[in-house]
Structure formats: C-alpha cells, structure tokens
Amino acid sequence: MLNSLILIFKQTVRRLALIGLMLSTLPGAFTYRHPFTDKIADTAGLAAAGGKSGGLVVNVDINSTNTPFLNACAADGVEPFDDLYAYVDQYDNTQVTDLAFNVFCQYSATPSDVWTDSVAKYLQTSENGTPVDYRPLYEGIYRFYQNGIDPYAVWFERCRTDGIHPWLSIRMNDCHEPDEAAGFLRSDFFYEAREKGWMIGSDYGYYRNCFDYAVPEVRQKMLDYTAEQLARYDVYGIELDFMREITCFDTRKNPDCAAIMNAFMRDMKAVADAAGATRGHAIKIMVRLPRDIEQSLAYGFDAATWAREGLADILVVTPRWASCDSAMPIADWTAKCPGAEVYAGIETLVLRQGGDAQATAEVVRGFAAQYLTAGADKIYLYNYYQNPRSPEGRSAEIYATCGQLDTALNATRRHIVTYQDIAPEGYEKYQPLPLKVTAYNTVGLNVETGYIPEGARVHLIIGTSTPQLIGKLKAAANAAACAFAGETTLRGSPALNNYAGGAALFRYEMPGEYATNLQKLLFENTGIRTVEITYAEIVVEI
C-alpha cells in the first residue's frame, strides 16, 4: 500500500512539472524563432583527425601586446633587433605554426595612407573637438618608425627564419570604446561614417558604431587598406577578423547581407591574388567567424559558398570573448565546407571575466583534444598575451602541448562545460547550465571530450547551488553509474574554484571503459526538491 502511494505521488509530481512546461510554451511566453540545435556528433576513435598535422595559431594583439612591448623597447633606447627578434623567438621550437599579427582595429598600427595610423595618433592634439594626448600610448612605435625601423617587417622576416607563418590580421569592424567623445583607437573615418549614417545604428547597443558593410564606401575602404598593406609586407596570408565585430549589417533592414558579403569576399580574393602574383606566392585568406555555420549565415556570412568558390582558405570557428565554447560543432563545419581548412578558436576567458578566469594549460588541452579529435586542422588562440619581457607562466605549457593531438591527449586535461556568448537575433544560444533536475526526474547533459586513451582516470565534477540535496542526486555516464566520491575542489590556479563561482563542488568517478568521444551524462533526482547544477566538468587524468 505504501509503495503504491509513493508511486502515485511521484507520478503526480512529474505531471505537475509537465503542465508547467506546457504553460511556458503558450502564446505570450517567449520562444526563439530558431531554437538551439545540438550538432555535436556521437563518434568514437580518431578517424576525423586522421592525416592532420595540427599546430597552433596565435593572434598577437595590437594594443594589449604589441604596443606595451614596443613602448618598453623604446624606453630602453631603440636598439631594436635583439628585442624585436625575441618577440617572435619566444614561439620558436613550440607547437606554434602561425602568428597572426593584428595591425588594424580602428586605426592602423602600420604606416597607412588609407586609415589614420599610429604615427598620426601620436601627433594628434585634438579629436572631435576634444584636446587629446596619445603620445604615451604610441611612444614606442613612433620612435621605431622615426628611426627608420618597421617592427612588423622585422617580425614577419623573423617568422620566416623561425619557420613560422606570418599573417596580417585585420579587425574588420572593431567598436571598442563606443561611449567616448574621443578615443585612442579611432580613425578620422569613424567621424565621417557616423555623420553620413554609415554605421548600423542605435538599435544595436554596444555594437551601434560598427560600420555598415551594405555601404560601398565602407567595403572599398577595407579593400584599399588590405591592398596597401599587402603591397608593403610580404606575408603568408591575411586574416579577416570578423569577430571584431560580426555585426557588419543592420540585418533587420537588409535582406541581402550574404550576397553583399559574398561580393566583397570575391573582391578581397582578387586583392590577395594580385598581391600573390607580385610576390610570387599565393596569399592565403583566413576568416574568423562565429561557432555555427547557419548562425554565421544569419549575420550575412556565407562560409559554405566561400569554401566552395575558394574565397577563404581557412575558417576559424570561435567564440567572441566572454567565454570559451565547449560545444562548437567542428564536424558540421568540416562536412559543409570541404574546400577550406577549419581551425577551432579558443578564447582566454573560460566562463567569466577576471584574472582568475583565464584558461590554464589543462583547460586549453581539453578544448584542443576535443576539437582536434572532431577534425579541426589546427587550434587558434585569441587573447593569449605573451611578452618576452614578462612571460606568463601558463603559456609555455600551452604552446608546447595544445597544438598536436598526441600531446593534447596524453596529458591531464579538463573539459569544462561553458556557453555560447553571442548569437544572431532570434537564435537561441548554447547555454546548458544551470541544469534544474526536478523531483523524481532525470536530465541529460552531453559533454564532448574527444578521444580518451585506455587506462585514463576520468572524473566528473559538478557544482551545485543546492548542496544539501546532493545525496538525492545520482549520476551516470554512457548508461553506466558513476560512483559518488564526495566534496572536492577544482584543479589549477590562481584560485581553486575560479570557474565555478563559489558553487559547492562534488566529484563522481566515471567508468572509463564506457567513454566515447561524447560523454552522455544523466542526472537522476531521487528526492522531492529540485537540484540545481550550476557547474560541470570532466577531468581526464593520464
């Protein structure tokens, strides 16, 4: 009799939860036009990674890395070559194969007749009616150019000496500091474009000052600048960084975004081919795009057409800034863009802002193992600042182990469940946490880890805002029960629980013999009160 009453009670609770779910979908409740679609494939083994050599691409930041380094050099007196060589040599004998030097954000760090450049910013005393003095910011690069030394030309040549591919990286629509009356990043064209209505507009919040690529003058400006820089520098290729920023169109008012951008890419390809003919070698084109191919198209970026027509040699699939992304569908990109290489982008911020939120080598290895297993050709690092005068301790291990599949797989790594930081209007983001496991229900969570070698010890760590209910939560992986191992802390530094944000943490032991490339987790709540999971990661110990 008692068992029957308990069964009836559980069924009633489940029905009430179902009614709540149904009510949430009635008219008036918010729904996305495009619900999130999980495109991660359930695979085993290493077939997708076969024949790929791997490597690391590092984006070298224009303002956070290059400028402070050059200022430090100038402060010591311009005796450049040993110092300038060291800037590149720090990546020699590592897994870094490519350095993408960011030369343009809203101004050009390199000499330019097309955009306001760093020397002009150094000499500027008034901007937009505001007195300014940018000399301390641009002192270093100004001194080098005044002494007839182009640091970028030195770096590109040193890359070739060290066997590293040098790239010109161009931020295609940077919009830092949108609220300032004047800004150290801004060119004169900013004010012309704003006056003429060549920006996407106030409806786009932080991105309101992004140039509108529907305007022919904007597109021509970027084509002219690229041609100018390729005439000045002999490089392996150009990177078009559309993740600073992807909002290149007022998509609400312009239905022809993709057609306009396709035409622009054909023009850009012509610019690269002309420079390549002059240099005697092909100039490759690398493009940085959001995590999902359909979402990229919604922004106006038709990557499949670019791959098919040979307009882009490399597609970098990447988050924007606020997080890494633990579920980028790399295999979907490689299947739909067979004419291009696909690189997986890893940000330096894992889950949130702050110094304690930087990705450690173990975290980067986790993402690298996942995405290289899924078929990424290389790993791309963004916002990984490295100055030889003050090197970061984590960087050496990252550069030594995170670009090749064998080193990523055969060292301890962490697979942290994160989220997607941006999406087009109307598209639901990937954001699996927090996960609410209601009374007597079971909820799933898929975590792509990539290949797990035989004999590895595999742990599941969860964080919860309801630690008093942890005894009611059962966990399983790939249909096998996980053994509860008690309270725990996270690995790494500088703060043990930096990613989990103060949640109470608990560990489960996963049966490694059941591990495929996609770990299918199930959480069963055996109690009456809702258990909330706010953090999850899988640790693979070698």
DSSP string, 97-164: EEEEEEEESSSBSS--SSS-BHHHHHH--EETTEE---HHHHHHHHHHHHTT--HHHHHHHHHHHHT-
Which pLDDT belongs to residue 80?
61
pLDDT per position in the chain (542 positions), as tens? Answer: 545 544 444 455 444 444 443 333 334 445 689 999 999 988 889 999 999 999 999 999 999 999 999 999 888 876 667 889 999 999 999 999 999 999 999 999 999 999 999 999 999 999 999 999 999 999 999 999 999 999 999 999 999 999 999 999 999 999 999 999 999 999 999 999 999 999 999 999 999 999 999 999 999 999 999 999 999 999 999 999 999 999 999 999 998 999 999 999 999 999 999 999 999 999 999 999 999 999 999 999 999 999 999 999 999 999 999 999 999 999 999 999 999 999 999 999 998 877 678 999 999 999 999 999 999 999 999 999 988 888 777 889 999 999 999 999 999 999 999 999 999 999 999 999 999 999 999 999 999 999 999 999 999 999 999 999 999 999 999 999 999 999 999 987 546 677 888 899 999 999 977 678 999 999 999 999 999 999 999 999 99
* Cβ density class 305-341: b for 16+ within 10 Å, e for less: bbbeeebbbbbbbbbbbbbbbbbbbbbbbbebbeebb
SS3 category, 73: helix
Find tokens 């390199």 and name the residue.
110
What's the rounded Cα separation, in Å, for the pair 80 and 496?
Answer: 41
Distances (CA, A) of 48 to 92, 162, 203, 316, 335: 28, 30, 42, 17, 11
Which pLDDT belongs to residue 19?
41
What's the rounded Cα separation, in Å, for the pair 261 and 302?
Answer: 8
Beta bridge partners of 57: 98, 380
- DSSP code, position 39: -
Which pLDDT belongs to residue 496?
65
Which pLDDT belongs to residue 493?
55
pTM, whole model, 2 decimals? 0.94
Which pLDDT belongs to residue 492?
72
Catalogue all structural domains in the chain, each as residue range(s) with its CATH number: 52-411 (3.20.20.80), 432-542 (2.60.120.1200)
Which pLDDT belongs to residue 41?
85
Contact (CB, 8 A) for 515 and 457: no
Tokens read off for 466: 């309801």
Which pLDDT belongs to residue 353?
75
What's the rounded Cα separation, in Å, for the pair 210 and 193?
Answer: 10
Tokens read off for 6: 């308990």
DSSP 296-328: HHHHT--HHHHHHHTS-SEEEE---SS---TT-
